[in-house]
Chain A
Amino acid sequence: MVTEQHPQEGSVKHRHRQEGPQRHIVVFIFSVVLTLIAFAAVAAGGVNASFAVILLLVMAVLQVFLQMGFWMHLKDKGHLMPIIFMLGGFFIAGTCIVMALYWVWWD
């Protein structure tokens, strides 16, 4: 892959200052908070159903963005092809879901 960065002798020490666990713990805390918001909204009850659907989906998508970006390193350099692969997969998956919902809602 052309965009991949290969660690070169000499540049390694400079480029690869070890990343600490801090930001991964921050991502973890954000994930926990997003999960708690989702569970709390449902457990508390009384939340308007269509508002709850939107809230839950937004929480889920945010959490997935965080985890794929930081834990799976998609936000790092040299991940253009992985992003294309995943977006391709999500696009087809989304098409299937829209098709199924369209099918049962307007039969």
Chain B
Amino acid sequence: MTTAHAEAVKGTLPHEPEKATLEGRNKVLAFWLFLGGEAVLFGTLFATFLALRNQTNDGPSANELFHLPLVAAATFLLLVSSLTSVFAIQAMHRNRPALLRSWLLVTVVLGAAFLGLEIYEFSEYVRHEKFGMTTSAFSSAFYTLVGFHGAHVAFGILWISVLIGQLVRKGLTVVTAPKIYVSAMYWHFIDVVWVFIFTVVYLLGKVG
């Protein structure tokens, strides 16, 4: 059924293909409910972190540990990737699948670069700063919160990569468009969470 539907609109895509079918509209609406739940999930992790951020157990403190240039670079990478996923959706609305795939690819590459920086950061902490998961309540809360966000980035990279493959095989249709739209919402949300992480974890950690 879905393929027949997809064939029918080949070449002429509705203007907002993600909202052209009931399934697409339901997908977008339900994804908002999911993001509300994600907000709760991260809220609990932020609450834990805020409660435990000064419990360093004689291990490194936030102020000793964090290097702002690295955090700024990661922030910039994720912010640009959020913009490129906006461009991807605009390319989708103009029915330009090749351009859409390119912007999605740029988004994935920037996300991977962000993840690479985070892995580098964590490995530096563990190897050179003696700051492991079980060093202190602060370290556990830090790795849980920031690591959970990193896991979301990793999942987003996999997800969008699979969608690029699906675009190549199936093309841009009213079936594939909602999936892409929803993945872009997810990616923006990850960037929104990172805004709070660099503010609350890193910058406030430096302020004390």
When the two chains form their complex, are residues B94 and A18 in contact, meaning their CB atoms are under 8 A apart?
yes
**Among B20, B25, B51, B90, which residue has the most Cβ atoms of chain A within 10 A?**
B51
Instruction: Say which size band chain A's interface belongs to.
Output: 35 or more
Q: Give per-residue flags for A69-84: 1 if the beta carbon is below 8 A from chain B beta carbons, else 0.
A: 0011000000001100
Tell me the complex Cα distance, A14–B47, Å. Answer: 47
B56 within 8 A of A: no
Q: Give per-residue flags for B140-166: 1 if the beta carbon is below 8 A from chain A beta carbons, else 0.
A: 000000000000000000000000000
B116 within 8 A of A: no
When the two chains form their complex, are residues A56 and B94 in contact, meaning their CB atoms are under 8 A apart?
no
Instruction: Say which size band chain B's interface belongs to.
Output: 35 or more
B126 within 8 A of A: no
When the two chains form their complex, are residues B37 and A89 in contact, meaning their CB atoms are under 8 A apart?
yes
Task: Given the known inter-chain contacts A32-B79, A42-B203, A86-B32, please indicate yes or no for A100 contacting B51, CB distance below 8 A.
Answer: yes
Tell me the complex Cα distance, A71–B35, Å. Answer: 15
Contacts of B15 in A (CB 8 A): 7, 12, 16
A101 and chain B: residue at smallest CB distance: B50
Contacts of B47 in A (CB 8 A): 93, 96-97, 99-101
B207 within 8 A of A: yes
Beyond known contacts A19-B90, A85-B33: 9 more, CB 8 A cutoff:
A7-B19, A16-B16, A21-B86, A35-B76, A42-B207, A53-B207, A81-B32, A93-B43, A101-B50
In the assembled complex, 5 residue pairs joining A and B whose CB atoms fall closer than 8 Å, in A order, are A4-B19, A24-B86, A71-B188, A86-B39, A96-B44
